């Protein structure tokens, strides 16, 4: 009887929680609250930032610290040792089109080490070091199958190789397993002090840190043009790609696919996934301080347009999918729009229209680029084709 009552009670709680979650999420434009975004061009002592020098010297470091302290956590810059080894290779993979290398990147600090397994293909037709796409892979490892027995639309490596780019990927679990019980069994072991800090690194920060270690490798590989690396990520991986590109200016391009809350979408719109929801479902993604903003997005000292601004003048491409309202397509577009002023300081003019473009209407020839693909939350061949066009344009490879 007791067990029966307990089961009933937990069922009722479950149903209520589910209803609450549903209610928590707004999908109606008319219910978006009135909000004012923090001014990206106003310094903490209320000075207006008028040129790129003042941006780089005063405001950019301030904004970077605000994101570190309030959302993503610190990013440890030093470590005792880093080693790269090619574990295996195949000079004629993809029917001779590509050279595959399985690279092990081993980073050590405080007697602990982390092993990042990089899958890398470079185009054999290249006569110079190749520009590259790097994916922070948050889905199954089979998506980046080195043997190419499994071909996934999520990482269409053959398409990218045919376009003359190298393509690489690492899996987030090498840095921080993606769950609250285990995320500390990776990079966090190298920096144990981060765990107890309210602004300490968490999983998204660890994945971004991993992307930078791959960049450390790229600069040593003569087959890669490390000055032309486009960092990409989907959804939670897209949140990490933005944070990594904001931190590490060696990434020439940032692509953030369906990244939504605490990715490219504005928090203050409170549309789709909100801060409380993300902090509750994924408490291991962001730092402890971020929890203070549950139900209080308006108190954040930043909003996500400022994260995109940190990447200026480097090109950023954000995407959405029409059925993925959870990731707030309009809020993503507005985030890019509100970063335009910082790109303007560099004399760069965004070509984004005043209102979001229609479905499957990519705006590519712009430092701030956007598309909203018809369909579901995913990264598809359609998306990748646009990313290639974007990289071609910005790397001067256009026809």
Q: Would you name the residues annotated as active-site residues? A: 235, 377
Question: Between 257 and 366, whose beta carbon lies closer to ligand GCU?
Answer: 257
Q: Which one of 68, 69, 273, 297 is in contact with ligand GCU (CB under 6 A)?
A: 273
Cβ neighbours for 327, distance < 8 A, ≥ 6 positions apart = 235, 258, 259, 260, 261, 263, 265, 272, 273, 320, 321, 377
143-148 long-range contacts (CB < 8 A, ≥24 apart) are 143/169, 144/119, 144/169, 144/171, 146/93, 146/100, 146/102, 146/119, 148/93, 148/94
Dihedral angle, C-alpha 374, 395, 256, 239, nearest 10 °: 180
| Angle between helix 60-67 and 236-247 (nearest 10) | 140
For residue 273, the minimal CB distance to ligand GCU (Å) is 5
> What is the smallest separation between the CB atom of 172 and ligand GCU, expressed in angstroms?
10
Pairing of strands 316-321, 368-373: parallel
Distance of closest approach, residue 135 Cβ to ligand GCU, in angstroms: 14
Question: Is 236 one of the binding residues for ligand GCU (CB under 6 A)?
Answer: yes
Q: Shortest distance, CB of residue 276 to ligand GCU, whole angstroms?
A: 12
Q: In angstroms, give the least distance from the CB of 164 to ligand GCU.
A: 30
Q: Which of residues 51-80 bind ligand GCU (CB under 6 A)?
A: none
Give CA torsion, residues 194, 261, 291, 196, to 10 deg.
-10
- Sheet containing strand 98-109, edge to edge, reads 81-93, 98-109, 112-123, 166-171, 130-137, 224-234, 253-257, 316-321, 368-373
Nearer to ligand GCU, 275 or 316 (CB): 275
Complete DSSP assignment for 188-214: GGG-THHHH-TT---HHHHHHHHHHHH
Assess contact for 273 and 258: CB atoms under 8 A: no
Which of 161, 254, 278, 334 touches ligand GCU by CB under 6 A? 278
Q: How many residues bind ligand GCU (CB under 6 A)?
A: 9
- Rounded to whole angstroms, the Cα distance separating 171 from 137 reads 5
Nearest distance in Å: CB 24, ligand GCU: 12
Contact positions with ligand GCU (CB under 6 A) in 206-235:
235
Of residues 70, 93, 241, 261, which one binds ligand GCU by CB under 6 A?
Answer: 261
Q: With CA atoms as reference, report the closest residue to 167 among 134, 139, 140.
A: 134
**Min separation Cβ 138 and ligand GCU, Å:** 6
Site string for ligand GCU, 326-345 (x = CB under 6 A): x-------------------
383 interacts with ligand GCU by CB under 6 A: no
Pairing of strands 166-171, 112-123: antiparallel
Q: Between residues 261 and 366, which has the closer beta carbon with respect to ligand GCU?
A: 261
**C-beta nearest to ligand GCU: residue:** 235
Closest separation between CB of residue 134 and ligand GCU, Å? 18
Who contacts 292 (Cβ-Cβ below 8 Å, separation ≥6)? Answer: 70, 299
* Contact letters for ligand GCU, residues 111-140 (x by CB under 6 A): ---------------------------x--
Judged by beta carbon, residue 161 or residue 327, the one nearer ligand GCU is 327
* 260: contact with ligand GCU by CB under 6 A: yes
Closer to ligand GCU at the Cβ: 255 or 342?
A: 255
Q: What is the signed CA dihedral for 76, 73, 372, 312, rounded to 10 degrees?
A: -60
Q: Which of the ranges 22-30, 215-223, 273-281, 366-374 carries the binding residues for ligand GCU, by CB under 6 A?
A: 273-281
CA 244/CA 311 separation, integer angstroms: 10
- Residue 109, strand partner residues: 112
Which lies closer to ligand GCU via its Cβ, residue 138 or residue 350?
A: 138
CA distances from 264 to 198, 252, 287, 320 (A): 23, 18, 18, 10
Site string for ligand GCU, 294-333 (x = CB under 6 A): --------------------------------x-------
Q: What are the residues binding ligand GCU (CB under 6 A)?
A: 138, 235-236, 260-261, 273, 278, 281, 326
């Amino acid at each position: 009887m007791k067990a029966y009552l307990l089961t009933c009670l937990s069922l009722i709680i479950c149903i209520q929680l589910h209803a609450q979650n549903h209610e928590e999420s707004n999908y109606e434009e008319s219910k978006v609250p009135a909000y004012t975004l923090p001014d990206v061009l106003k310094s903490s002592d209320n000075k207006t930032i008028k040129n790129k020098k003042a941006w780089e010297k005063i405001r950019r470091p301030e904004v970077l610290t605000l994101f570190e302290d309030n959302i993503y956590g610190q990013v440890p810059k030093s470590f005792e040792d880093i080693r790269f080894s090619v574990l295996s290779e195949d000079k004629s993979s993809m029917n001779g089109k590509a050279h595959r290398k399985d690279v092990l990147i081993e980073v050590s600090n405080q007697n602990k080490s982390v092993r990042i397994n990089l899958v890398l293909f470079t185009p054999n037709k290249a006569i110079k070091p190749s520009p590259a796409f790097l994916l922070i892979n948050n889905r199954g490892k089979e998506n980046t199958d080195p043997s190419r027995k499994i071909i996934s639309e999520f990482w269409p490596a053959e398409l990218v190789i045919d376009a003359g780019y190298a393509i690489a990927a690492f899996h987030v679990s090498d840095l921080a397993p993606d769950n609250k019980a285990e995320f500390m069994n990776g990079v966090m072991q190298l920096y144990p002090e981060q765990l107890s800090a309210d602004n300490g690194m968490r999983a998204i920060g660890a994945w971004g840190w991993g992307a930078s270690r791959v960049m450390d490798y790229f600069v040593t590989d003569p087959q890669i043009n490390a000055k032309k690396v486009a960092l990409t990520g989907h959804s939670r991986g897209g949140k990490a790609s933005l944070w990594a590109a904001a931190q590490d200016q060696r990434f020439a391009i940032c692509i953030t696919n369906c990244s939504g809350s605490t990715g490219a979408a504005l928090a203050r719109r409170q549309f789709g996934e909100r801060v409380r929801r993300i902090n509750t479902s994924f408490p291991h993604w962001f730092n402890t301080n971020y929890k203070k903003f549950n139900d209080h997005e308006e108190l954040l000292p930043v909003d996500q347009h400022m994260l995109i601004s940190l990447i200026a003048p480097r090109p950023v491409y954000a995407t959405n999918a029409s059925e993925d309202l959870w990731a707030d397509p309009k809020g993503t577009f507005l985030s890019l729009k509100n970063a335009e002023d910082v790109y303007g300081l560099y004399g760069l003019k965004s070509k984004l229209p005043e209102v979001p473009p229609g479905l499957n209407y990519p705006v590519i020839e712009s430092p701030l680029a956007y598309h909203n693909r018809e369909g579901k939350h995913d990264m598809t061949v359609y998306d990748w084709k646009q990313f290639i066009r974007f990289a071609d344009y910005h790397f001067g490879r256009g026809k």
